[in-house]
A and B are shown apart, each in its own frame.
Chain A
Amino acid sequence: MTLILEQLLNGLQLGVMLFLLAAGLTLVFGIMGVINLAHGSLYMVGAYAAAFAAKLTGSFLLAIPAGLAAAALTGMAVEYLVIRHLYARDHLDQVLATFGLILFFNQTIILLFGRQPLFVQIPPALSGAVDLGLFPYPAYRLCIIAAGLLSAGALFLLIQRTRLGMLVRAGATHREMVQALGVDIRLLSTIVFGLGALLAGFAGLMAGPLLSVQVGMGEQILILTFVVVVIGGLGSVAGAFWSALLVGLVDTSLRAFLPQILRGMMAGSEADALASGISAMGVYLLMALVLLIKPKGLFPGHA
């Protein structure tokens, strides 16, 4: 029982990380109609900047603003230099250009930091475990869940309750109309893109101590994020939230429980091989299932 609860918390932790990435991706699509393959690169930039700052200063607290700033500034620069010119283009052009950006970012990171993965220490204050009554759970992971849920809440408030959020919602449905009313939609686009990059960078810097910080980490999670966005419905932030939690839970529980279940039915080594295959495919099969029932995703957005 405690094992199940612990794995559910792990799934929740993966879920909130996926949400931080999916929110940016789906907002950028909603406002600008752009598919951004380089979103994972911003996650990587955030992780590397934080890892570098942590190594330099020895303080995780200083690494947080470093990672956030690096990701947001990179994102805004990318928007200004490249993405801005792709709004009116078809999706194929957007794919090609952002694919080029990925090649550039990956190689630049290799040039700067080398191919060896960087390892980041969990900050000492959070390195222990918290007793949740039934079982102890790593404080750092708990902290990620809290931070993720808080940012999700803040994002909802921003979108639903502020003037900027109102413009974002209006821009997603009637871009030309908002422009005609005198809103600088280009500036709005840059801000939204920067916000998405900030969230991606936040996910990246939090992932640093859990995973090794290495080139290619962005693409790995990007493709999982695509699954989240497709399941949730393109352009919908609420959809991204629920489907990120769903994908996180499904992925984690398949990996945790499937081997044991299958081992009850067949020989150990075969069961392990089959379980690792199925659990690697699990979320994609989930996506296929959702597509069969609701081709537009669970919470279809405006697009």
Chain B
Amino acid sequence: MRKLIASALGLALLLAWPFIAEKMGAPALISLFTRMMILGLAASALNIALGFGGLVSLGHAAFYGIGAYAIGISTTHAISGLPFLGLLPGSDQLLVNVLVAMLVSGCAAAIIGALALRTSGIQFIMITLAFAQMVFFLFLALKAYGGDDGLTFRRRNVLFDLNMRDDATFFYVTLGFLLVWLAVCARVLHSRFGLLLGGIRQNERRMQAVGVNTFRVKWIAFIISGMGAGLAGALMANLGRFVSPDLMHWTTSGELLIMCVLGGSGTIVGPVLGAFALMGLEATLNTWTEHWQAILGPLLVLMVLAFKGGLARIGGDKP
């Protein structure tokens, strides 16, 4: 019951936020909150693999960036009128592009996941990081789409007749996507599949013994997780009307992990709260000093050390 009230209050605050920000005379805060929601969505996507599947992925920035690039590439082709690879026409419709972004990042997650899930533990962490770096270098070398300069497009994608230029409108569109995503997450994780995934996190060998194809369950969880990160990237590309390899810098993967753990990785809404907390903290420290990372770093170490057994119990058993 208390959770329900808290969620309702949080939602009410978010719904009212564009008006509050206008009243405060700080419309820039609308975009800040949009970014927080987008990264919250990305963190909650990572959380399907991390919190529910026990898969510590340090490579989700890749799926996030691939989703963003799908938008950037599709939109530039829509503007130029030339088809992609001479086959596929571009589009400036948000819903079409979001679907494409999720599909492409899902495919990337399927390939990377199939390889990385052959290992576990520390190797899994290193491999996901290494593959994400590979994707980063791939886009850095992709001169046709801007290379390290990235891609800029003039207009946000079109959604019905909404005025997407308006930051408040885009805020509500993002909120809508976030709510739908969280609902899907809740639905998936309370299904039979979610139970299997939780069982594997707690004791993979036992799940194998009762006849579950644990590789497949983990793989599907990883793919869903990658698709969610792609959705977040798609929204981020639209927010800034700009994509560049910087989006998939490996520190983004690290920050997504922090958001998950900070907010409580075993919960559905937790990572979103974590995103708000971490980005709020960053924004606050940033007003004090340009070198805020010198404060955030030790703070992070202290947080990990102070909470015995981790900020939240993940993984269940020792590997």
Contacts and interface: CB of A to CB of B under 8 A. Distances in A.
Partners in one complex: yes
Contact of B296 (A82, A100, A110): A100
Given A281-B137, A284-B134, A104 B126 contact: no
A99 interface: yes
Main secondary structure of the interface of B (DSSP, over half): helix
A62 to B, nearest CB: 29
A97 interface: yes
B299 interface: yes
A89 B138 contact: no
Contacts of A96: 254, 257-258, 261, 300, 303-304
Given A85-B305, A90-B314, A93-B304, A223 B56 contact: no
Interface in B100-151: 115-116, 118-119, 121-123, 125-127, 129-131, 133-134, 137-138, 140-144
B127 A104 contact: no
Contacts, number: 141
A287 B118 CA distance: 12
A92 B261 contact: yes
B37 to A, nearest CB: 23
Contacts of B314: 90, 92
A273 B141 contact: yes
B310 interface: yes
Contact of B50 (A35, A92, A296): A92
Nearest to A104: B297
A188 B311 CA distance: 28
A285 B298 CA distance: 35
A160 interface: no
B297 A35 contact: no
Interface stretch (A49-57, A126-134, A227-235, A236-244): A227-235
A100 B298 contact: yes
Contact of B125 (A91, A104, A107): A91
Contacts of A285: 134
B206 to A, nearest CB: 19
Contact of A90 (B143, B291, B315): B315
B187 interface: no
Interface in B263-319: 291-294, 296-301, 303-305, 309-311, 314-315, 318-319
A33 B141 CA distance: 36
A271 to B, nearest CB: 12
A117 to B, nearest CB: 17
A227 B297 CA distance: 25
Interface string B43-61: 0000000100000101000
A297 to B, nearest CB: 8
* Chain A residues touching B, majority SS: helix
Contact of A223 (B122, B250, B309): B250
Given A100-B296, A101-B301, A223 B130 contact: yes
A295 B134 contact: no
Contact of A92 (B123, B126, B257, B296): B257
Contact of A107 (B127, B293, B303, B309): B293
A73 interface: no
A122 B157 CA distance: 53
A91 to B, nearest CB: 6
A103 B300 contact: yes
Given A104-B294, A281-B137, A91 B319 contact: yes
Nearest to B258: A96
B59 to A, nearest CB: 10
Given A111-B291, A281-B137, A95 B143 contact: no
A122 B130 CA distance: 32
B310 A99 contact: no
B118 A291 contact: yes
B104 to A, nearest CB: 17
A158 B137 CA distance: 38
A219 B250 contact: yes
Best-surrounded residue of B125, B141, B257, B258 (most CB of chain A within 10 A): B141
Interface string A101-139: 111111110110000000000000000000000000000
A93 B310 contact: yes
Given A35-B122, A99-B258, A284-B134, A82 B305 contact: yes
Contacts of A105: 297
Given A92-B257, A226-B129, A111 B294 contact: yes
Given A101-B297, A280-B137, A281-B138, A230 B130 contact: yes
B310 A89 contact: yes
Given A103-B293, A281-B134, A281-B138, 12 more contacts: A91-B315, A92-B310, A95-B257, A96-B254, A96-B303, A99-B258, A111-B291, A223-B129, A223-B130, A277-B137, A291-B127, A296-B119
Please provide the 9 A-B residue pairs with the shortest distance between their CB atoms, ordered closest to farther.
A104-B297, A100-B300, A103-B297, A107-B294, A284-B134, A280-B137, A277-B141, A226-B126, A295-B118
5 contacts: A35-B122, A90-B315, A100-B300, A280-B138, A296-B119
Interface of B: 50, 56, 58, 115-116, 118-119, 121-123, 125-127, 129-131, 133-134, 137-138, 140-144, 250, 254, 257-258, 261, 291-294, 296-301, 303-305, 309-311, 314-315, 318-319
